[in-house]
Structure 1
Amino acid sequence: MREEEIIEKLQKLGLTKYESLAYITLLKLGPSKATDITKESGIPHTRVYDVLSSLHRKGFVDVMQGSPRLYKPVNPEVVLEKMKDEIVQDIESLKAAFLDLYREVHGEELPEIWTIQGFDNTLERAEYVIRSAKHEVLINTPFEFLNLLKKEIKGRKDVVFVIVSNFDDVPEWLNGDNIILARSGGAPWLMASWIIGDIDYALFFGALPQDKRREKFYSFWAKSPRIIQNYMHWFYTIYFDNSEVIKPLGYEELPKPLSLVNIRTLITVLKFAGLPRKAEIAGRMIDTKEPVTLDGDIVDYEYTPLTANVTFKYNGKELKVGGIGSYFEDVEGEKFILLD
């Protein structure tokens, strides 16, 4: 990375141009006198002491007392990790504050579905879905759009991907053990795209735009477990189940425990993993709504367009466990953790 790019990124983190120059100079020189920093960086002598004092307050520089006084750069990993933690905490605080502000004004929760305008904004939301997922990501989209998500997908080895696209060949970056790939039959419904992360976020849009219409492009963004659960059902029954699996999950190579939140994703994984499987299931009893956590073995499953459940051996008896919204089964499962 060029020095100009580093300075630009440091400025985004709150450093001034002179502070960025001084810190980079110290990384090059090691512990140095202010006059040496001025000579190497070009920072005016009248400004350098103020700049170094500010870097010290911000945690980028340690001051070594003596004659002459020396300035030492703090390890970049240490200072940047500290900044990252502080930024994440600030963002979480702001999210809570914004939600509270919205409730005060409108007396209700934020809407469950938003309209997103602009292709670039849609791409940013799709990347966010992948970055924020904790368990699984479901994607149905033309390869043209899937290829734009390459960096985000390659960066996530800790979630399960189920991806449907109009593949010709499988590119190397989609060969991870945590990825299931299915080739669509080229049906018109492939024109609709879904990117779903856990039951937290979902993005939906239609045909991809021509360049001249990128700013007039619209997509829909949902943040509602009730809605997203339906999206997941449609993803499997309309798209995945009508496609050809061309790359299975490398289940044995994946680290355990493996956590999932959708019953159809669980059963899809079990088709590759085989049965029985030791598991822990968190959810609620259908009859009493009492929260339960069950340890036992998944010994069977049922999977049709209308029903999806697993048979779970627990304390010498068998229970039927479905997903969120279940009412025929014994247990409404909210999280499924495969242990072996």
Structure 2
Amino acid sequence: MKEEEIIEKLQKLGLTKYESLAYITLLKLGPSKATDITKESGIPHTRVYDVLSSLHRKGFVDIMHGTPRLYKPVNPEVVLEKIKEDLIADIEELKKAFLKLYRSVHGEDLPEIWTIHGFDNTLERAEYIIRTAKYEVLINTPFEFLSLLKEEIKKRKDVVFVIISNFEEIPEWLKRDNIILARSGGAPWLMASWIIGDIDYALFFGALPRDRRKEKFYSFWAKSAKLIQNYMHWFYTIYLDNSTIIKPVNYDKLKKPLQLVNIRTLITLLKQTSLPREIEVIGKLVENKDTITLRGKVIEFEYTPLIASVVVDDGNKKWKVGGLGSYFEDVEGEKFILLD
């Protein structure tokens, strides 16, 4: 990273340009006199003492008293970890304050969908979904956009990915045990983009912008379990079911227990292995909405555009289990934990 970029990022963290220059200089020189810092950094001699005192108050610099007085940079890992902790704490406090302000006017319900302006903001949201998902990530997007998500995808070996794109060949970074790849059916409308993380977040947008139009680009961001369960259904029935699987998951090498929240993701994995499979289902009885934890073996499944369900034999009864919103089945499954 260039020094100008480092200075820009430090300024975002609350340092001035001179403070950023002084800290970078100290990292290069080690414990130094103020005059040495001035010579190396170009900070005016009349300003350097105020700058170093400010860095000391902010926790970036230690002062070594003596003759001459020396200034020592604090370990950057310590400094940045403290900033990270403070920033996260501030964000959580702001979140509570903003929600309180919003609810004081609009009531308890938060909006289910927002418009995101700008291509860069859309990319950041897509990366955030991948970064924060706990169980599964569903992606349908042109390879041009998928490539921009490469580094975030490479970091996540602990979630299941189902990825649909207009692949010509499979790149090495997608040849992993936890990734299912499908080549889109080819119709232009199949290349509208969806990025879905668990039932927590979803992002949707249409055609990708050309460079000169990136600032005018917009996408839609959703945070609603009821809405996202419909998005998941469309992802599978409109996109995956009209695509060709070109790389199945390596089920035997996936770490167990393996948790999922979407019944169609569960069945997609079961199609790529053999039955029966030991499973634990956490959900509600459809008849009376009582909470139930069901443990047994998946012995069969049903998968159509309208129905997605599995049959779980617990040794006493064969239960028909569906996903969120089930009303034909015995159990509405909220979490599916594959045990073997």
Q: TM-score, normalised by structure 2?
A: 0.89
Who is 2:328 aligned against? Answer: 328
Task: Kindly provide the amino acid, as one letter, of the partner of residue 310 in structure 1.
Answer: V
- Alpha-carbon contact 1:102-1:109 (below 8 Å) kept: no
Task: Kindly provide the amino acid, as one letter, of the partner of residue 131 in structure 1.
Answer: R
Task: Kindly provide the amino acid, as one letter, of the partner of residue 228 in structure 1.
Answer: I
- Alpha-carbon contact 2:165-2:191 (below 8 Å) kept: no
Who is 1:75 aligned against? Answer: 75
1:21-60 alignment runs, 5 A limit: 21-60=21-60
Counterpart Cα distance in 2 of 1:23 and 1:40: 11
For the structure 1 residues 250 and 60, does the alpha-carbon distance in structure 2 shift closer, same or farther, using more than 3 Å as the test? farther
- The secondary structure found in structure 2 opposite 1:148 is helix
For the structure 1 residues 107 and 169, does the alpha-carbon distance in structure 2 shift closer, same or farther, using more than 3 Å as the test? same
Who is 2:18 aligned against? Answer: 18
**Residue deviations 1:238-266 (CA, integer Å, cap 9, x gap):** 21112110011123333333221111111
- Residue 49 of structure 1 and its aligned partner are, at CA, apart by 3.1
Counterpart Cα distance in 1 of 2:244 and 2:175: 16
Counterpart Cα distance in 2 of 1:196 and 1:298: 26
- Residue 129 of structure 1 and its aligned partner are, at CA, apart by 2.5
**Residue deviations 1:96-147 (CA, integer Å, cap 9, x gap):** 3222212112235232122334444433333332233222111112223323
- Residue 302 of structure 1 and its aligned partner are, at CA, apart by 2.4
Who is 1:269 aligned against? Answer: 269
Task: Kindly provide the amino acid, as one letter, of the partner of residue 12 in structure 1.
Answer: K
- Residue 296 of structure 1 and its aligned partner are, at CA, apart by 4.1
Which of 195-204 and 101-110 deviates more? 101-110
For the structure 1 residues 14 and 215, does the alpha-carbon distance in structure 2 shift closer, same or farther, using more than 3 Å as the test? closer
Task: Kindly provide the amino acid, as one letter, of the partner of residue 155 in structure 2.
Answer: G
Counterpart Cα distance in 2 of 1:36 and 1:208: 51
Who is 1:285 aligned against? Answer: 285
For the structure 1 residues 295 and 19, does the alpha-carbon distance in structure 2 shift closer, same or farther, using more than 3 Å as the test? farther
Which of 63-72 and 79-88 deviates more? 63-72
- Structure 1 unaligned blocks of 5 or more: none
Q: TM-score, normalised by structure 1?
A: 0.89
For the structure 1 residues 4 and 211, does the alpha-carbon distance in structure 2 shift closer, same or farther, using more than 3 Å as the test? closer
For the structure 1 residues 18 and 208, does the alpha-carbon distance in structure 2 shift closer, same or farther, using more than 3 Å as the test? closer
1:223-302 alignment runs, 5 A limit: 223-302=223-302
Counterpart Cα distance in 2 of 1:199 and 1:16: 41
Report how many residues are paired.
340
- The secondary structure found in structure 1 opposite 2:204 is strand
- Residue 62 of structure 1 and its aligned partner are, at CA, apart by 2.8
Counterpart Cα distance in 1 of 2:35 and 2:81: 30
Counterpart Cα distance in 2 of 1:113 and 1:263: 23
Which of 221-230 and 124-133 deviates more? 124-133
- Structure 2 unaligned blocks of 5 or more: none
1:1-340 alignment runs, 5 A limit: 1-211=1-211, 213-314=213-314, 316-340=316-340
Task: Kindly provide the amino acid, as one letter, of the partner of residue 307 in structure 1.
Answer: I
- Residue 316 of structure 1 and its aligned partner are, at CA, apart by 4.5
CA root-mean-square deviation: 2.5
- The secondary structure found in structure 2 opposite 1:52 is helix
- Alpha-carbon contact 2:260-2:335 (below 8 Å) kept: yes
Counterpart Cα distance in 2 of 1:255 and 1:31: 48
Counterpart Cα distance in 2 of 1:61 and 1:131: 33
- The secondary structure found in structure 2 opposite 1:103 is helix
Counterpart Cα distance in 2 of 1:8 and 1:333: 48
Instruction: Percent identity, please.
Output: 78
Counterpart Cα distance in 2 of 1:26 and 1:279: 57
For the structure 1 residues 80 and 276, does the alpha-carbon distance in structure 2 shift closer, same or farther, using more than 3 Å as the test? farther
**Residue deviations 1:204-226 (CA, integer Å, cap 9, x gap):** 23333445554554432222111
- Residue 200 of structure 1 and its aligned partner are, at CA, apart by 1.5
- Alpha-carbon contact 1:52-1:61 (below 8 Å) kept: yes
- Alpha-carbon contact 2:143-2:167 (below 8 Å) kept: yes
Counterpart Cα distance in 1 of 2:25 and 2:188: 58
